[in-house]
Structure 1
Amino acid sequence: MKNHLLGLSIANNKRLKESCIDDALRQCAVVLGESQGIDRCYVLEIEKHSINYYY
């Protein structure tokens, strides 16, 4: 639980300080993944007729 709360705190700090939302979200995913021992993340962009995958 301690790692999770620390990861949330660091991710929130990065989100607030970063001016580019794409960079902020990428950094948040990295920090949260590292705090939980997760080595990959899949982000989907769902539109009306298609799904775009980003790795």
Structure 2
Amino acid sequence: MTTIRRATCRANRIRQFYLEVGAGPRAVLLHAFPETCFAWRLQIPALSAHDG
């Protein structure tokens, strides 16, 4: 089972929500407006299976 960590960070007074899964090299998945991180729900487990 894939464990997804939900977190936020603040940069330039803007709060950003992000998901973090697995270990190893980073992959940044960006969605366009009006999508949400839900758009990546099928890709996240597949990518995390390749932890380096």
Q: TM-score scaled to structure 2, two decimals?
A: 0.33
Higher-strand-fraction structure: 2
Bigger relative CO (Cα 8 Å, ≥ 6 apart): 2
